[in-house]
Amino acid sequence: MKKELFMIIIMFSLFGCVSSPKTQISNPSFETGDLSGWIAEGEAFTDDVITSKITYGPHNRFFEHEGQYHLHGAINASKTGTLTSSTFRITNTGYISFLIGGGANYNLAYIGLYDAKTDEELSRRHNTMFDDPTHTDGYVRVIWDVSDLMGQDVYLKIVDNDTSDYYSYLNVDDFRINLTEEELAHFQVDALVRLGHPAEGYELEAINRYISMNAWKIDESLKMNYHVTGQIGWINDPNGFVHFNGQHHLFYQHNPKDVVWGPMHWGHVVSDDFIKWEYLPIALAPNKPYDSEGAFSGSALDIDGKLYLFYTGNIPNRQVQAIATSTDGINFIKYEGNPVIDETTLPPHASAVDFRDPKVWEKDGMYYMVVGSRQVQNNYGQILMFRSENLTNWDYHGTLYQGTSATFDKLGYMWECPDVFKLGDRYVLIMSPQQVPGHRNYNSTVYVVGDLNYETGELENIDYHAIDEIDYGFDFYAPQTMVDDQGRRIMVAWMQSWNREPVTAHLGFSGFMTLPRVLDLEDGKLIQRPVPEIKNYRQNKTTAQFSITNRTRSIEGMEGDSKEILLTLIPDGSRAGIKLFVGDNEETLVYYEDGHIVFDRTNGTNGRINSEAINNITRVPVELIDGAVELRIFLDKYSVEVFINGGQRVITSTVFPSQNAQGIEFFTQGTASFIVETYDIIVD
């Protein structure tokens, strides 16, 4: 018995006490909040280098680490040392992965792999993507093939021998040892996404990462103060304008990677008051067969606490309509049955090539959709109506309004971005006709008043001669409306036109949204008034009342480039008005002359706009009320919005003054009286 017991003890000592080799390291992502499981030597790596900070630098760029904690070596910059992991054995695929940042000098700052028996260095990796200023502290992923060491016991060592002041440290996180095939595939995708490169199925993550990596390059001080623009790159049409979960959501067409139109995504901002906006992640990316060439414009609908986005999928030689949904208003899932409308649903007279921009609403338990279209037989525009009981199965219901040769002079060809809504007891169709002959913008934006016949899907009782432009400026296109939580019909539009380069393209961002406007219909005319919430941002009130004859006058305290100006002008019939953004040999004019308000930016764009008059001077007919005209003017660095006589007419235009061109002056050719009230608009 003693002999048997002795043999058991021997066997146990030989085999039972020898633990199987570890295939992972201790505390691989520093989620203990300290250096537990690692051996530190020198001064570079101490417990205080483990941090939960998520941003770095003056621009608050994101580290993009994993978990809560990571190792931020900058805390002990210029100090040297090593940090050694526990021992592990190479198994599975033989691949290792980790995140790395910093480490400008790869000869002095690197990750080494060492033989656990001999302490011989077997291989090393460093931050090959370091590129000041783009790739500095932010994490990129390393995928390391050590399969030639299969079965060998090794350990990792974080080495920092750099004493310089130039990124002389390492940031590391998320060590993954002995990846499986599935993990390897995942991290290969992650490595691409972290560089902003799209990988199949991860296009949305990649574009958001690209913005995170690059938006800091845009000088925020050069952006508008209270108008929406993209974080970086190009924006156009407003999309999905909706009130959801207690906030106003505005999406927009977006190409983050360039300042010109390109692969269309849906950018996203939210606001509590239509003035101060916050960026959210990109909502939609072109990543499906039915939207491979762009997630084009569309609308949104809140249905029982679920947000539905309706948009056009652009694919070669045709366009289709698709749906995406969200419960939080941030993360969207595209419907598996997309597209919900394609060429098989179109009537014979509608082109599948030009079939875009769905606007959806609900009435009496039925859902209705209008879509811009071009006719097959003659290329004139039309607005098609569809209806559905469940949002996924749609039937063609009628042609709301159709262009002919008789409408060409005012409505041109293709009709984009339709919106239909009721104001009072009439319905209003707004849309953006293209290729309007002789138009200052080549493309227009109009409103049509009529009566909507829900049985036939037609807009009836239209007075063609009463069809009017929504805005008489140079930069107003693709407007969209929503009903807010107060029951107001609010409209916003793209503050740009297609036939001109945006004035700020050279600054890294292109295109803006207009100041949102409350809509009313009075005597068949569309009235636009700035959302009253803008008044909450007024500061530094200045007033003046005076008359001048054949001269120019400025008022102390009225200068600035982010302003609201309330001007009552009483002219004697000759030219009289206001000069905005006055500087050295530059100014933008708004004045009354011969029954018109004239806007003139000829000397207000620093050569960014062709100097021909058709690109710079626009005239709006107005009637004096008791001998006066009332102007409410909003300035915001690169924009002028002029609301005339309580919003009966509006002029919206971009400008590009010098930064020091902040003067405001009043002028006459003849005699005129001025009553002026101004405010700075300050949005912190």
- The string of pLDDT tens digits covering residues 138-173 is 999 999 999 999 999 999 999 999 999 899 999 999
Residue 85: pLDDT above 80?
Answer: yes
Residue 5: pLDDT above 60?
Answer: no
CATH number at residue 446: 2.115.10.20
Residue 216: pLDDT above 60?
Answer: yes
With a CB cutoff of 8 Å and minimum separation 6, the contacts of 8 are none
Coil, helix or strand for 48?
Answer: helix
Q: What is the pLDDT of residue 20?
A: 57
Do residue 257 and residue 341 come from a single domain? yes
Q: What is the pLDDT of residue 7?
A: 44
In whole angstroms, give the CA distance from residue 463 to residue 549: 43
In whole angstroms, give the CA distance from residue 357 to residue 380: 17
| E strand residue ranges, 107-246 | 109-115, 121-125, 140-145, 153-160, 170-176, 233-244
Q: Average pLDDT over the chain, rounded to whole? A: 95
Active-site residue, selected from the candidate residues 237, 419, 475, 600: 237
Least confident range from 11-25, 128-142, 239-253, 610-624: namely 11-25
Q: What is the mean pLDDT of residues 615-620?
A: 97
Do residue 639 and residue 663 come from a single domain? yes
Do residue 479 and residue 550 come from a single domain? no
Task: Please indicate, yes or no, if residue 371 is contained in any of the structural domains.
Answer: yes
Do residue 465 and residue 596 come from a single domain? no
Question: How many domains does the chain divide into?
Answer: 3
Given 502, 530, 558, the domain boundary residue is 530
The DSSP annotation for 229-240 comes to --SSEEEEEEEE
Do residue 580 and residue 477 come from a single domain? no
Residue 11: pLDDT above 90?
Answer: no
Q: What is the pLDDT of residue 573?
A: 82
Do residue 481 and residue 620 come from a single domain? no
CATH number at residue 618: 2.60.120.560
258 is catalytic: no
Do residue 515 and residue 537 come from a single domain? no
Do residue 341 and residue 400 come from a single domain? yes
In whole angstroms, give the CA distance from residue 377 to residue 243: 40
Given 125, 145, 180, the domain boundary residue is 180
The CA-atom distances, in angstroms, between 493 and each of 240, 280, 460, 471, 613 are 12, 19, 26, 10, 24
The CA-atom distances, in angstroms, between 42 and each of 38, 83, 650 are 13, 9, 69
574 close to 642: Cβ distance less than 8 angstroms: no
Q: What is the mean pLDDT of residues 276-302?
A: 98
Amino acid at 243: H
| 397-446 residue pLDDT tens | 999 999 999 999 999 999 999 999 999 999 999 999 999 999 999 999 99
Task: Please indicate, yes or no, if residue 2 is contained in any of the structural domains.
Answer: no
225 close to 682: Cβ distance less than 8 angstroms: yes
Do residue 411 and residue 478 come from a single domain? yes
Q: What is the mean pLDDT of residues 299-325?
A: 97
With a CB cutoff of 8 Å and minimum separation 6, the contacts of 599 are 472, 473, 588, 589, 590, 617, 618, 619, 620, 640, 642, 651, 653
Q: What is the pLDDT of residue 198?
A: 87
Amino acid at 80: T
Do residue 226 and residue 170 come from a single domain? no
Do residue 319 and residue 402 come from a single domain? yes
Task: Please indicate, yes or no, if residue 186 is contained in any of the structural domains.
Answer: no
Do residue 319 and residue 464 come from a single domain? yes
**E strand or H helix at 207, and its extent?**
helix 203-214
Q: The tokens of 679 are what?
A: 């405010």
Residue 514: pLDDT above 70?
Answer: yes
Print the domain residue range for 61. Answer: 39-180
Q: Give me Rg for the CA atoms of the chain.
A: 32
Residue 12: pLDDT above 90?
Answer: no
Residue 63: pLDDT above 60?
Answer: yes
